[in-house]
């Protein structure tokens, strides 16, 4: 698949010289005595190490969440639960992640981001271990809640670190690499997890994640430097007031709503993806790893390309193209009859390409939006609202789809597809409003203080 966008270099609408939130003179990149800043088009050795560590961390977080979908058919049959109960198991993570993100928002800019990363990562490892040891449905729900309490905050911490360490003109490429955690989970993690589940049972993938996460924890502790530049911005308010100020800032509110809607489409369809493939498209459990692996390999090419394009051209145009592309293939995929495996793989790749063409430019825009001393709180609130909205979507999806017997086709899955498309269009409208505000502010040369008034 070829993603066709204009190669013409158009100044980013959210770079530090045009953003209405970040004045041209603001310095977002920490200066360190032992690390020289890279040229705009290159990364230093240390930056490459940071990208690698953050990508590995993202890989385990994404894998823990994404593996629930392909394990859905295993869990429904092993625990004798309904699709609605499985939807609750998926949404339990999202709800707890959303709540913890909101609770952590007021404190997110008051500590070294490296320490926050290690603290929440340790809790994530403990929660994932509990998932690997769960033997009953109530304990599984408890384990997913525990994992979400810590893992849900991880994404916002990672995004805040990216915003602090990397210049705006490099963030698109950084996001492209970090989001490769999705591809890596599809290429390596999910196929291996399904393979282990086929050999042993559904507990094995979670125990695999625990072992890998422990190794990554050690690497982050050893090689990442403290991320404390934001602490130079004196916080004269309490944590609660800081949370309120960030939540009440009008430009942030629009971004919060847009990012919440950004995830709903995926949450609607994802929990029942494997069940739809197995029971409706007649993909065997042994073929399921092939489907995820092929999609992941294609994504390893697509995501860096989208990230590079996000740094070179208009990010909103890429986002809009991805939204239209994804909408088309969502409708096609959710209404598929039984087709050969190769056809399912091709359509899945094309669908995923559209989704990533939305996520990467949108994430890059959102990272550039908050002021330095608000970034941690902004990303925490944004991630929380995204998780809560996704949890509602997953629970809602569990109420829509039905399955008469454990081996019968999933019903009403196309309905989820149409709802997802509608949400994507609404999200595109909100992102467009953000685009118009920033473009107007850039044309008029409005100062940050005037915009905030």
Task: Write down the pLDDT at residue 71.
Answer: 75
* Residue 424 φ/ψ, nearest 5 degrees: -60, -40
pLDDT of 100-145, one tens digit each? 777 766 666 677 888 888 998 999 999 999 988 888 888 999 999 9
Task: Write down the pLDDT at residue 93.
Answer: 83
Task: Write down the pLDDT at residue 181.
Answer: 64
- Annotated domain spans of the chain: 45-224+257-452
Residues of the chain with pLDDT under 50: 1-40, 441-442, 445-453
Q: Is 115 within 8 Å of 227 (Cβ atoms)?
A: no
Q: Alpha helix locations (H) across 285-374?
A: 288-312, 315-334, 341-368
**Residue 274 neighbours by CB under 8 Å, 6+ apart:** 69, 70, 71, 72, 73, 288
DSSP 272-283: GHHHHHHHTS--
Task: Write down the pLDDT at residue 20.
Answer: 29
The domain made up of 45-224+257-452 is a member of CATH 3.40.50.360: no
Task: Write down the pLDDT at residue 214.
Answer: 94
CA 382 → CA 97, 195, 327, 377, 415, distances in Å? Answer: 11, 35, 24, 8, 27
User: Measured between alpha carbons, how far is 360 from 184 in angstroms, rounded to an integer?
Assistant: 16
Torsion from C-alpha of 196, 276, 79, 294, nearest 10 degrees: 10
Task: Write down the pLDDT at residue 14.
Answer: 30
Task: Write down the pLDDT at residue 11.
Answer: 31
**Would you say the pTM of this structure is higher than 0.85?**
no
């Amino acid at each position: 698949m070829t993603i066709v966008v204009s190669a013409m270099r158009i100044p980013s609408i959210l770079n530090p010289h045009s953003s209405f939130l970040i004045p041209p003179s603001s310095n977002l990149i920490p200066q360190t005595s032992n690390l020289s800043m890279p040229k705009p088009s290159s990364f230093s050795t240390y930056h490459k190490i940071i990208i690698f560590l953050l990508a590995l961390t993202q890989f385990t977080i994404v894998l823990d969440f994404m593996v629930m979908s392909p394990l859905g058919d295993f869990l429904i049959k092993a625990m004798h639960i309904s699709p609605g109960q499985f939807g609750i198991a998926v949404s339990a993570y999202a709800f707890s992640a959303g709540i913890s993100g909101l609770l952590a928002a007021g404190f997110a800019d008051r500590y070294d981001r490296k320490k926050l990363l290690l603290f929440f990562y340790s809790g994530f490892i403990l929660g994932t271990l509990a998932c690997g040891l769960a033997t009953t449905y109530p304990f599984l729900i408890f384990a997913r809640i525990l994992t979400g309490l810590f893992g849900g905050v991880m994404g916002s911490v990672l995004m805040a670190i990216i915003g602090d360490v990397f210049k705006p003109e490099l963030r698109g490429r950084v996001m492209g690499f970090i989001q490769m955690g999705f591809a890596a989970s599809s290429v390596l993690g999910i196929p291996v997890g399904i393979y282990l589940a086929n050999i042993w049972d559904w507990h094995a993938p979670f125990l695999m994640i625990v072992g890998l996460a422990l190794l990554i924890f050690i690497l982050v502790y050893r090689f990442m430097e403290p991320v404390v530049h934001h602490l130079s911005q004196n916080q004269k308010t309490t944590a609660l007031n800081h949370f309120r100020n960030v939540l009440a800032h009008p430009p942030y509110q629009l971004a919060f709503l847009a990012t919440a809607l950004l995830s709903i489409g995926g949450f609607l369809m994802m929990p029942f993806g494997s069940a739809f493939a197995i029971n409706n498209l007649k993909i065997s459990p042994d073929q399921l790893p092939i489907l995820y692996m092929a999609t992941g390999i294609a994504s390893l090419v697509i995501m860096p390309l989208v990230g590079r394009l996000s740094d070179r051209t208009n990010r909103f145009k890429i986002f809009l193209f991805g939204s239209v592309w994804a909408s088309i293939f969502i409708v096609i995929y959710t209404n598929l009859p039984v087709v050969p495996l190769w056809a399912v793989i091709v359509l899945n790749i094309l669908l995923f390409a559209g989704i990533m063409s939305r996520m990467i430019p949108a994430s890059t825009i959102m990272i550039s939006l908050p002021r330095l001393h608000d970034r941690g709180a902004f990303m925490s609130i944004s991630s929380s609202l995204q998780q809560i909205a996704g949890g509602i979507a997953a629970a809602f999806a569990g109420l829509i789809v039905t399955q008469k017997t454990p081996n019968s086709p999933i019903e009403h899955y196309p309905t989820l597809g149409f709802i997802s498309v509608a949400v994507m269009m609404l999200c595109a409208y909100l992102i467009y409003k953000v685009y118009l505000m920033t473009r107007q502010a850039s044309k008029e040369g409005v100062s940050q203080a005037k915009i905030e008034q």
